[in-house]
Structures are given as structure tokens and as C-alpha cells.
Amino acid sequence: MADGKWYKEMCVYHIWPRSFCDGNGDGIGDLWGVLQKLDYIRSLGADAIWFSPIYPSPNADFGYDISDYKNIHPDYGNLDVFRELLGEAHKRGMRVFLDLVMNHSSDEHPWFQESRKSRDNPYHDYYYWRPGKTVRGRLIPPNNWTSHFEGGAWEYDEKLGEYYLHLFARKQPDLNMENPRVRQEFKEIMRFWLDMGVDGFREDVVTFIAKTPGLPNSYPWLPAINGLEHFSNLPRVHDYLMEFKKDVLDHYDCFTVGESPNTTAETALRYIAEGPDQVLDEMIAFSYMEADCILTDMIPRPFSLRKLKRAMSDWQEKLEGKAWNALYIENHDHSRVISRYGSEQYRVESGKMLAAMYMLQRGTPFIYQGQEIGMTNLRLPSVELYPDVSTQNAARIASHVLPRGQVLKLIQRAARDNARSPMQWSAEPNAGFSKAEPWFAVNVNYPEINVADQEQDPNSLLNFYRKLIRFRKDNPVALYGTYREHDRKNRKLYVYERAYEGTRLLVICSFTADQVRFDAPEGIKLDKARQVLGNYEVNFVIANGFTTRPYELRVYLIENEVRNEEK
Ligand code: GLC
Ligand code: CA
């Protein structure tokens, strides 16, 4: 229903600041660069920007290890530039969301530095410090949990004689949210930014912020991921989020989207179902990015359209009338979607198809920088050239079971770094990203794939994104229509329908270069429908169906049926 909540009609542009645009010529993206590109972002039709972390950070996990929550990384600018950016974004009608990482800080954060000084330091209990266990004369960690990025989840501190918990990299110690002082710190951090004019937060791995008291051993259900049942979606997560909402967020007109690994649509509803228990506006579905892998991108499988459809329809159907979806097909944690779910050979066709496929569903679309021009995966010649900590971890694990060449292939396919190469602005040196040598490899295809070229071409992917966003805004059926999938078992076509007040929208997406016969679902007459979007020329339709061309997309609008029938 159209209930006037602004986040339901917005479209969000996601910036990974290090690789977006270098404004001061040191090879690193920054806020000065973003300032130069605000008109570009607005020209897409974006209503908001979400920044991956821009705070001071030693960059063990490129900003997701924060050493000061109330400042800006000097590589990116300072608070004055940020305030200017905020004002300029607002002037253009765009909101600004920050990434809030509450599960862990950097080990270089003063809280952690204090906490490791002594067991009775007032900050000691900000983190999970525990003595180890002695087994047959050997000291072992307090439990068997594993980290996502670097082996076991515990790191020993010689001086203190205790271990600290890190569910991600060693340099990302987990914060103890159980401690009310830690929650107080985060309330102040939220207020600090909201008072400045920030419009909301994307809350990093928010489903992990509570742990089972006593931190018990995990049942080793998967050799490489231990502990999930003790740190994922525990009931206290909801309690903490409710406290943040009541004490802070409710006092501002702001938006929150939770990042939620290991979370089904049912579980998500605990947090986002509209009503008195709602604590977040939206949640990010991980299953969208699992159609060609098992649980993690690093265990690849052939792409399965049915798996993708199941994931998307599941969230569409379960949230219908209850909660609002976050729609995305790319972010900074996954390789490029055209290289995964589409086709590099049919880059523009598949790029347009994928865009309409997800953006015409019910929810708030997020667009990740470079997605709108169809950037593709890098293929760097050696594993060492991929700087991400989780990439290096995956390569280390894979090298136990795979020959070198296969490890490189895996990394080329699945590394998060694929999404982190500099934005391709033009065919000028360094893709127009920077006057200096960029901090990370520019994709060699920038002379063919860049913003400047696509600005000139009315049929470019970039201009298709603009058209699509405009269409979504102009058509309530695209925003508020109900969702219904057709032909679920089809392995090559994704067909769904939206319906709102007598208007229907039929979205037909081919996920193959093969020719596939499409027949309109019962009750739909294509010759009475108007094709409103597509990626090929279409003249007329015969026999209420057609044979698809590679990665073909067609979107039909069937208007005012009720009135027609009444006549
Ligand atoms: C989230 C972020 C990812 C980061 C991790 C740890 O998944 O999206 O980039 O590495 O959390 O903070
Ligand atoms: Ca710079």
C-alpha cells in the first residue's frame, strides 16, 4: 500500500568510497570526488546515497574496521567536506546514509587499545576477552568458533594472558553489546551523525551483534563455519535494536536497513514486519547472491535460475503486505553480476535484463557503483594482486584442495575485489578515476565500458537505468503492485506479474542466449498490452507469445482492465 513512507519510493546509489572518484589526485577515491559526481548520481534518478564506511580505519577490511566512529578518514576528506557534501546532496533532493558497523571495531580503536591494557581497565568489558582452556597441558581458545576471514575466531594476547573474539579479521575485535556502556556509545554515535543531518544507516552484520551468554562451544555442523547458532539472530539482537529505535531513531525521520547474513525471510520479519515490534525498515537478503554458489561465493556452482527465482519470490511473497524489501544484485561484497548471472558476451542485453528483473520487484532498489554501466569482473594474473583480506583467506583455504591455477580461477571468479576496481568514468588514462596511479587495478576494458561513452548513446545501459528508474517512479504498479511469479519451473525464463488497482505489469526475462518460446500466461493478451521497456526492437506480437533473443527482456503494461471490462 502507498502509505507515504518515503523509503518505499526511493532508489539508493551505493558508493564504495575508495574506488568511486579521486578528487585530490592521490589515486584514492574521496569525498571531493563524490562532490564532483553528485549531479551524475542525481541524473540517474537516485534519491539517496549509501556510503560504505568513510570513517578513519587502518583498512584491514577497507573501512569495516573502524578506529574512530565520529570522524572521516583523512584519505576521504574531513568533517567539513562531509558537511558540505551532505548539504549539496540535500540541495539536490538526495538523502545520505552511512554504514554503521556495530559488531566490531578496529583493534586500533582507542576502546580496544584501552581494553587490552589490563583486566580491570574500564574498557576491558567492551570486548569479549576470555581466558583460554588448558587441555593436556596446552592452552587452547575459549571455544571452537571460527571467524569469517581468518581461521579461528580467537586471538591470544600474550601480555594480558587472554583471548579476544573476532568473528571477522584479527584486526576486527567483536564488541560486547551486552555491556550497556557499549550500547550507550552507539546511541551517541548515531545521534552525532543524525544531528549533523545524516538520514539513516545501513547496519553492518547486524544479526551478529548478540552472542549466547557463556560463549559455549558450537556443534561443528560445517567444518569451516562454527558458532553460527551462538552468534546469529539471537533474541537479544531484537532487544538491542528496539533500544536503539526507542532511544534514538524514533526521534529522527531516518531510514535503517540491516545487513543480515544467514537470515531467511521468516527471520527477517521479526525485525522488519510493520507494527509495534518493527526495529528496522528493511533487511538485505543474502540468498539473492547464492544462485551460483553454496552459502559463500567461494564455493561456486553453475548458475541456477530456479535458485535465483526461488530466493527472490520467497522474499517477495513472504513480505507481501507485511514488510518492505531491499532489492539489489550487486554490492561491494560480490563479484560483478553480469559476469555471474548474465553474460559478458551479451553484456548490454543481459545488463538491461538484470536491471529490470530486480528493480521492478516490490521494494527499494539499491544500485552499486559501476553496475549502471555494466562493469565486469577483473581478471588479474595472480592471486597476490587481490588485496581483500577475505579473498586472501579463501585463497589460502582453497590452496589446500586445489592446484594453483584453479585457485587463481576461483579468485578471478569470486573475489569481492571484482567490485572494488576503480569506477570507469571515461576512456582517459586510469579510466578518468584519478590523475595519479590508482590504488588498485583499473579493469582493462575501460576504453569500451565507461560513463562518458554511455552518456552519448541513447541505447546504453546507463540510459536504460535512467529510463527504468523513471518508469518505476511514474507507475504505482511498479512501486506498490502485488507480485506473482509465472512458470516457476522454467529454467531459462523469469516471468512475473505485478498488479495494482486494475493495472498489471508483466516482466519477462530470458537468462540464456538460446531461443526460448514464451507464451503469455492465461488471461493476458499481449496484443492488448503496451510494451514499455525492453532490450531489443519489437514490432508486433503474433499468437500471444514469442521466441526470445539472447537475454531478451520485455516489460508489458496492461492498463485499466477494470474499466475496459466494464465497458
Ligand atoms: C559486511 C560488509 C563486509 C565486511 C563485513 C565485516 O558483510 O558488507 O564488507 O567485510 O561485514 O564488517
Ligand atoms: Ca584522493
Could you write out the three-class secondary structure of 263-276?
A: CCHHHHHHHHCCCC
Across the chain, what does the average pLDDT equal? 96
Closest ligand relative to 57 C-alpha? 1
Ligand 1 atom index nearest CA of 389: 10
The one-letter amino acid at 74 = P
Other CB atoms closer than 10 Å to residue 260's CB: what's the count? 26
Q: In whole angstroms, what separates CA 351 from the centre of its chain?
A: 18
Ligand 1 atom index nearest CA of 104: 12
Residues whose CB is less than 8 angstroms from the CB of residue 197 and which lie 6 or more positions away in sequence, other chains included: 83, 86, 87, 90, 96
pLDDT, one tens digit per residue, over 384-419 is: 999 999 999 999 999 999 999 999 999 999 999 999
Residue 108: active-site member: no
Residue ranges of domains in the chain, CATH in brackets: 6-105+200-238+255-468 (3.20.20.80), 110-165 (3.90.400.10), 480-566 (2.60.40.1180)
| Distances in whole angstroms, Cα of residue 12 to Cα of each of 29, 45, 403 | 19, 9, 41
Residues whose CB is less than 8 angstroms from the CB of residue 171 and which lie 6 or more positions away in sequence, other chains included: 58, 60, 61, 65, 106, 107, 108
Closest protein CA for atom 4 of ligand 1: 64
Query: How high is the pLDDT of residue 540?
Result: 74
> Which residues in the chain show pLDDT less than 70?
1-2, 221-224, 561-567
Closest protein CA for atom 2 of ligand 1: 204
CA separation for the pair 374, 376 (Å, rounded): 6
Query: How high is the pLDDT of residue 566?
Result: 43
Rg (Cα) of the chain, in Å, rounded? Answer: 24
DSSP for 31-77, written as a single string? HHHHHHHHHHHHHHT--EEEESP-S----TTTTSS-S-TTS--TTT-
Axis-axis angle for helices 265-272, 235-247 (nearest 10): 30
All 3 cell numbers of residue 187? Answer: 546511541
Q: Nearest Cα to 30, choosing from 73, 92, 79, 91? A: 73
pLDDT, one tens digit per residue, over 518-567 is: 999 999 999 899 999 999 998 777 889 999 999 999 999 999 765 444 43
Whether 282 and 364 have beta carbons less than 8 Å apart is answered as yes
Q: Please choose from 147, 168, 296 the residue to mutate so as to test ligand 1's pocket, defined by most ligand atoms within 8 A of CB.
A: 168
Tell me the CA end-to-end span of the chain in Å, nearest whole number: 27
CA separation for the pair 99, 18 (Å, rounded): 14
Catalytic residue among 61, 174, 259, 333: 259
Residue 204: active-site member: yes
Query: How high is the pLDDT of residue 224?
Result: 64
CA separation for the pair 38, 44 (Å, rounded): 10
Q: What residue spans of 224-304 are helical by DSSP H?
A: 228-231, 235-247, 265-272
Query: How high is the pLDDT of residue 66?
Result: 99
257 φψ region: left (φ > 0), alpha (ψ -120 to 50), beta (else): beta
For the question of whether the overall pTM of this predicted structure is more than 0.95, the answer is yes
All 3 cell numbers of residue 18? Answer: 575508495
Query: How high is the pLDDT of residue 103?
Result: 98
Query: How high is the pLDDT of residue 560?
Result: 73
CA separation for the pair 183, 161 (Å, rounded): 27
